[in-house]
Structure 1
Amino acid sequence: MPIEVDDVMKLLCSISQERKMKAAFKHSVRGALVTGTVALLGGLVGGPPGIALGGTVGGLLGAWMTSGQFKPVPQILMELPPVEQQKLVNEAKAIIGNLDWTDAIELIALVMSNQAMQQNLLDMLTTYMTKKLGAEICYGD
């Protein structure tokens, strides 16, 4: 049976939703722009000490602005372009390739009853999110 992309994506969403996975993407460029802008303004107003103070304040402000922007992983998965979804499905094939199912509901039930398979899919998903998408993952509320 060919693996259906929609079925596997629903499975991955279900697993990540059960584990309450969230991901944050680092927006380092935005933080750097804020830091540089505040340092520049500090330098214009206060000279060399203003640059130091502006850089410190800007760095803290930039870090605060870019932290804690977590989105639920199921939402991220469904927003992936089809090419990226296909890459995920291809990686999942190695884990669920021996299963036989007729629809997403049956596939989810089969995987949820197998703790080892669930963990393998979770590990694959976590690796994909961190290595290929550059996200930081957290679990729970």
Structure 2
Amino acid sequence: MSAEMPIMVDDIMKLLCSICQEKKMKAAVKHSGRGAVVVGAMAFVGGLVGGPPGLAVGGTVGGLLGAWMTSGQFKPVPQILMELPPAEQQKLVNEATAIIRNLDWTDAVQLTALVMSNQAMQQKLLAMLTTYVTKELQAEIRYDD
């Protein structure tokens, strides 16, 4: 069984990527820490340059810049999934395996065909992916039409 495990992980990751591509899922991982640093730095510089009014202006400009930096950095979910460390991929595969355990398949192509022809299973996998991306990765999901 352990010899087949890497192949299974790869096959299931391909399946999950196919579902994401089909739904045109994109996600933006929020970089709130980076935004907070920008706000703090701009407020500090503003305070040094202009005293209390400069502090207010610096904080406002920093807030706008921080919000701009952390918004709209959407990447395709398949790309995000493939960039996950092996331990995270394994966690996803374990959750997906619980959903697809009753299917009989030999490779990624067959598995993907079986799932894509089963609307209910597709929805379960999509829900699992959505939960994973929003909770574990703290990302915002968008579907492009």
**Which TM-score band applies after superposition, normalised by the shorter structure?**
over 0.9
After superposition, give the CA deviation of every residue in 1:93-127 in whole Å (9 maximum; x if it has no partner): 12100000111101000000010100100000010
User: Which residues of 2 match residues 1-141 of structure 1 at below 5 A?
Assistant: 4-140=8-144
TM-score, length-normalised on structure 1? 0.95
Once residues 45 and 84 of structure 1 are traced to their aligned partners in structure 2, the CA distance between those partners, rounded to angstroms, is 46
Write the distance in 1 (CA, Å) between the matches of 2:34 and 2:85: 24
CA root-mean-square deviation:
1.4
Q: SS at the partner of 2:141?
A: strand
Q: Which amino acid aligns with 1:122?
A: L
Shift of the alpha carbon at 1:53? 1.1
SS at 2:75 equivalent: strand
CA shift at 1:134, angstroms? 1.0
Q: What is the Cα deviation at residue 133 of structure 1?
A: 1.2
Gaps of 5+ in 2: none
Identity fraction in percent: 79
Q: Distance in 1 between matches of 2:117 and 2:18?
A: 13
Which stretches of structure 1, 4 residues or more, deviate above 3 A after TM superposition?
none
Q: TM-score, normalised by structure 2?
A: 0.93
Q: Deviation per CA, 1:24-49: give whole Å up to 9, x if none.
A: 11111111111111111111121111
Residues 61-89 of structure 1 deviation map (CA, whole Å, 9 limit, x = unaligned): 11001111111110111111111111111
- Equivalenced residue count is 141
**Which one-letter code corresponds to 2:54 in the other structure?**
G
Question: Mind listing any 5+ residue stretches in structure 1 that lack a counterpart?
Answer: none
| In 2: Cα distance, 1:100 partner to 1:27 partner | 41
Paired residue type of 2:24? K
